[in-house]
Amino acid sequence: MQHLDLEHVRTIESACHLHPWTMKNFVDCLQANYWNYVLCLDASPEQVIGHCIVMPGVNELHLLNISIMPEYQRHRIAYQALIAIEVMAKEHGHEKILLEVRASNIAALGLYGKLHYQMIGTRKNYYPSKIGSESHREDALVMEKALK
CATH of the domain at 133: 3.40.630.30
Q: What is the pTM of this model?
A: 0.90
Q: What is the Cα 85 distance to its own chain's centre?
A: 11
**4 CB-near residues (< 8 Å, 6+ apart):** none
Task: Please give the pLDDT value at position 92.
Answer: 95
Q: Considering the chain, what is the average pLDDT of its residues?
A: 93
Boundaries of domain holding 31: 3-146
* pLDDT over 70 (residue 51): yes
More confident residue, 129 or 142: 142
Name the phi and psi angles at 37, rounded to 5.
-130, 145
CB–CB of 138/18 below 8 Å?
Answer: no
Q: Which of 12, 16, 27, 43 is nearest to 107 (CA)?
A: 16
Give the number of domains in the chain. Answer: 1
Confidence of residue 15 (pLDDT cuts 50, 70, 90): very high
pLDDT at 133: 67
